[in-house]
Amino acid sequence: MPTFDFVPASTEDFRRRAERRLPRFLFDYVDGGAYGERTLAANEAGFARIGLHQRVMRDVSACDMATALAGQAAALPVALAPVGMAGMLAQRGEVQAKRAADAAGVPFTLSTVSICSMEEVAAVSEVPFWFQLYMLRDRAVVQELLERAWGLGVRTLLFTVDLAVVGARYRDVRNGIAGGASRLARLRAGPVDFAAHPRWLWDVALKGKPHGFGNLSTYVPNATNPQAYRGWVESQFDASVTWEDIRWLRDQWKGRLVIKGVLNGEDAKAAVEAGADGVIVSNHGGRQLDGVAASIEALPEVVAEVGEACEVLMDGGVRSGLDVLRAVSLGAKGVLIGRPWAWAMGAGGEAAVSALLKTWQGEMRVAMALTGIQSLAEAGPGLLRPATA
């Protein structure tokens, strides 16, 4: 059980704790965004501009947050988003996150580029997890990954469509993750940084092996760490992908197909026409094209276009249970969270992720009670108001 030098009361508390515990290159990998990180900041600022109407003298003795996301029961409208290399944040991080999600009653999504393989994560419990995939140039690899996932009980596929090319992330260039760093920078980001974080060094670097991309080890057999996979993974991103390829994917996948990475009604409609059962309004957490719309700002347009035809989720900038209620009130069925659970994992592993989710559940319960509603079905634009400066 991890100990804290303060009691974490908010998502920011977990972030600050993760910053102290993780090597700089890993914290920046989680924390950073593309270019000048304006969209990264806009994602959070968009929620800050949405106020709530307080209502009083209503029976709010029982607030029901339960829902279903992609057909899976959820204790609250939250799912853990796919986070690449989460197994570098704590020992076998994806396994710990799956256990925390199971305990909280929310879905967990495994990234294609996870440290733990889908087989290792499936062994945690019989509760199904979601799997996230990119369109790789080698379609045979795509088919094999889909078959493996299906055989392990995965029935919801999140397909990321906003990574035709990798966004320019300045922090990753500076700390060497993106390659091309000087010898001195590599030294600082490696041995020197590791020595300054002995707990991480013992828990993850030494005891948390293997550090390869578990789902891809068959295809890059000589790679032993995330950096060794980098060239193969980037060579597999296919910039020629169109909606026709999503129709091909629809023919391959028998379960629910959710398209992740749409920011406007036109693309959302195209996703539905290609066979998607749901869409996730997302700008990749501000990690791709800087200057695009904040996810929460793009949400209403997507809901208006396809909300009757498919399930609409969103991610990006969600930092509290209050933000979850704001997103649901604007038409989202639920939200996915990436950085918050990654920060918590870096701060204290499974126990910290569980504590984060419990905190959000409490925040959401208070928000619902003080806006005068008992169920998510009562949430809507009427709960919202422009925030004061």
Q: What is the DSSP letter of 186?
A: H
Check if the beta carbon of residue 131 is closer than 8 Å to that of residue 215: no
**Quick one: tokens of 242?**
């169109």
Whole-number Å distance between alpha carbons of 82 and 307: 23
The question of whether 53 is a catalytic residue gets the answer no
Rg (CA), the chain: 20
How long is the chain? 389
Number of H helices, E strands in the chain: 16, 12
**Quick one: tokens of 364?**
């959401």
**Quick one: tokens of 303?**
């809901």
Question: Hey, what amino acid is at 263?
Answer: L
Query: What are the Cα distances from residue 284, in Å, to 43, 83, 171, 255, 387?
Result: 10, 11, 16, 23, 25
Choose among 229, 49, 238: nearest CA to 135: 238
Q: What is the dihedral of CA 327, 333, 336, 337, to 10 degrees?
A: 40
Question: What's the distance, CA 309 to chain centroid?
Answer: 24
Task: Point out the catalytic residue in the list 53, 197, 211, 284.
Answer: 284
Angle between helices 339-370 and 24-31 (to 10 degrees): 50
Q: What is the DSSP letter of 64?
A: B
Catalytic residue numbers read 284
